[in-house]
């Protein structure tokens, strides 16, 4: 009985979070205010007066867009509807990245699959050019049937990945222990839809079926609360330059997972995580990364 009641409570709490996510996204601005299509030779399109952005992939090329601004910390929400049907070989992305060889990066990558098989949600964190911090998940819904909200909370304490406002991964700032953390390089937001049949689906065993092309992914309802960094390197959150309108809600700057958030995180990682670099002892036979030795949530 206690197990049933616990499952029921989790289900009800998930429903509340899904409703809250939908209400939050409904107030978002037009995509063309924040983003510009950067590649794809016309395959990326702004639709519905900027309310919807479509990326397309065929056997010639894919497409992508990026933010007009660069940011140093923020909370970023994007609703995405993924390629339906046989999406094997395709990769849809939503990520933040700085420039240069020693770049920082925070990744959502959606790896396509055969019809009826689940997408693989691939996450990674790069800092100072070092990545290899992959965690992968299957989702508790079909991400091709409707839009769902994918979020990155990035502040000076931690990075939290969320799906429909449900935390799936947390990467804490442990720079004081010598573990690199992205904290001083401004990043832009990027999205793309591209072909990665060499590795994306079952390690490249399943190739892209081009008779299904063009493949289309849709984005809408971007919501960003963040510190915008100017071309001269000045942050809108700098106390010397911030105005009353710069960041109207800055609660994200100190936001952390409470006990309820930790409960959801454990639930997702127990039931839906399919790969965690921290438990890949074969890959790290000479010793796991330092951030893995004390925590299971990275």
pLDDT of residue 24: 37
Give exposure, 66-83, as e/b (b: 16+ Cβ within 10 Å): bbebbbbbbbbbbbbbbb
Q: What is the CA radius of gyration of the chain?
A: 19
Instruction: Tell me the backbone φ, ψ of residue 296, rounded to 5 degrees.
Output: -100, 0
Q: 94 with 80: CB under 8 angstroms?
A: yes
Q: Is 287 left (phi over 0), alpha (psi -120 to 50) or beta?
A: left
What is the pTM for the complete model shown? 0.88
pLDDT of residue 293: 79
Domain for residue 25, yes or no? yes
**What are the Cα distances from residue 100, in Å, to 68, 103, 104, 123, 177?**
18, 5, 9, 21, 24
Q: Which residues of the chain have pLDDT under 50?
A: 1-5, 7-8, 12, 15-28, 244-247
Instruction: Tell me, rounded to whole angstroms, the distance of Cα 83 from its chain centroid.
Output: 16
Q: 139 with 272: CB under 8 angstroms?
A: yes
Q: Which of 222, 191, 229, 189 is nearest to 72 (CA)?
A: 229
For residue 6, what are the β-bridge partners? none
Query: Which residue in this structure is represented by tokens 């036979």?
Result: 285
CATH code assigned at 227:
2.60.120.200
Q: 171 with 159: CB under 8 angstroms?
A: yes
Domain for residue 125, yes or no? yes
Domain for residue 97, yes or no? yes
Domain for residue 297, yes or no? no
What does the alpha-carbon distance between residue 1 and residue 124 come to, in Å, rounded to a whole number?
Answer: 38
Domain for residue 7, yes or no? yes
pLDDT of residue 287: 85
Domain for residue 237, yes or no? yes
Q: How many folded domains does the chain comprise?
A: 1
What does the alpha-carbon distance between residue 8 and residue 103 come to, in Å, rounded to a whole number?
Answer: 43
Domain for residue 178, yes or no? yes
Catalytic residue numbers, as ranges: 105, 109
Q: How many helices (H) and strands (E) does the chain have?
A: 3, 15
Helices (H), ranges, the chain: 2-25, 31-34, 259-271
pLDDT of residue 4: 43
Q: Which of 77, 112, 75, 76 is nearest to 217 (CA)?
A: 112
**For residue 7, what are the domain limits?**
2-292
Domain for residue 298, yes or no? no
pLDDT of residue 27: 38
What does the alpha-carbon distance between residue 12 and residue 211 come to, in Å, rounded to a whole number?
Answer: 41
Those residues with Cβ within 8 angstroms of residue 183's Cβ, 6 or more apart along the chain or in another chain: 156, 173, 175
């Amino acid at each position: 009985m206690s197990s049933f009641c616990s499952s029921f409570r989790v289900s009800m709490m998930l429903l509340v979070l899904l409703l809250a996510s939908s209400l939050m996204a409904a107030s978002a601005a037009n995509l063309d205010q924040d983003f510009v299509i950067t590649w794809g030779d016309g395959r990326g399109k702004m639709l519905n007066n900027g309310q919807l952005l479509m990326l397309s992939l065929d056997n010639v090329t894919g497409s992508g867009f990026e933010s007009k601004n660069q940011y140093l910390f923020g909370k970023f929400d994007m609703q995405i509807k993924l390629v339906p049907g046989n999406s094997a070989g395709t990769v849809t992305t939503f990520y933040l990245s700085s420039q240069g060889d020693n770049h920082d990066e925070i990744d959502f990558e959606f790896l396509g699959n055969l019809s009826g098989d689940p997408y693989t949600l691939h996450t990674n964190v790069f800092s100072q050019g070092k990545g290899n911090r992959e965690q992968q998940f299957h989702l508790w819904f079909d991400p091709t049937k409707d839009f769902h909200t994918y979020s990155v909370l990035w502040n000076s304490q931690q990075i939290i990945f969320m799906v429909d406002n449900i935390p799936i991964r947390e990467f804490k700032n442990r720079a004081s222990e010598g573990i690199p953390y992205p904290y001083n390089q401004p990043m832009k937001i990027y999205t793309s839809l591209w072909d990665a049949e060499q590795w994306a689906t079952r390690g490249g065993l399943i190739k892209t079926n081009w008779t299904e092309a063009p493949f289309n992914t849709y984005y809408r309802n971007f919501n960003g609360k963040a510190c915008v960094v100017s071309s001269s390197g000045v942050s809108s959150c700098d106390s010397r330059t911030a105005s009353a309108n710069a960041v109207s809600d800055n609660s994200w700057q100190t936001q952390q997972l409470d006990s309820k958030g930790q409960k959801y995180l454990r639930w997702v990682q127990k039931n839906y995580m399919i790969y965690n670099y921290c438990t890949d002892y074969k890959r790290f036979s000479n010793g796991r990364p330092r951030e893995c030795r004390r925590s299971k949530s990275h």
